[in-house]
Amino acid sequence: MSYRLDDFAVEMPFDVGSFTQVNERLNNVMVRRAVEMLSPQRGERVVDLFCGLGNFTLPLARSGAHVTGVEGLPALTDRARRNAVLNGCGNASFETADLFCADGLSRFWRGADKMLLDPPRAGAYEVVKSLRPSEMPARVVYVSCNPASFARDAAVLGEKGYKFKSLGVMNLFSQTAHVESVGCFER
């Protein structure tokens, strides 16, 4: 099984039981908007936290930036690595780490120019609260499926000195109360 991110010529195989976005057409739109907001440039270092199987990582890598994807589930990290090889994204690397435990998280974004966050419904509270002024990427794009955790984490980013630049909302799950938000923050 697989889906395609047409704008980036990326094929995304996935395993049964792996998390994927079920609305392929709107996932393409969401990925394109997130990549446009982050605006990765050749030679930049980008970190994609909660990367899953590489849904954002590989399109970001197409820009020429070096992208490190970090995921908590080893099976997804392994699938992301295989997807990077399949798609010829040698500038994408992947690590497995518990992103809900603040200990040692800063090693992933230390020296990064930009960061993409795509956490599960619980949000990325440990990540955003762990950001230190000397290690903060210049731009953060936050993709969220939960408006409450997004608002909580956006407030922390504001306290850290980030300015809210733009927001988009997408209804990937029609006829439900669930929406996806994509927000951009800069310092």
Q: Which residues are catalytic?
A: 145
* Residue 8 CB partners (closer than 8 Å, separation 6+): 31, 35, 58, 59, 62
Instruction: Indicate the burial class of 121 (C-beta count within 10 angstroms; 0-12, 13-18, 19 or more).
Output: exposed
Task: Give the length of the chain.
Answer: 187
Residues 2, 9: Cα–Cα separation, whole Å: 13
Residues 78, 86: Cα–Cα separation, whole Å: 12
C-beta neighbour count of 2 within 10 angstroms: 10
Would you state the structure tokens that stand for residue 180, as one six-digit string? 């996806």
DSSP 51: -
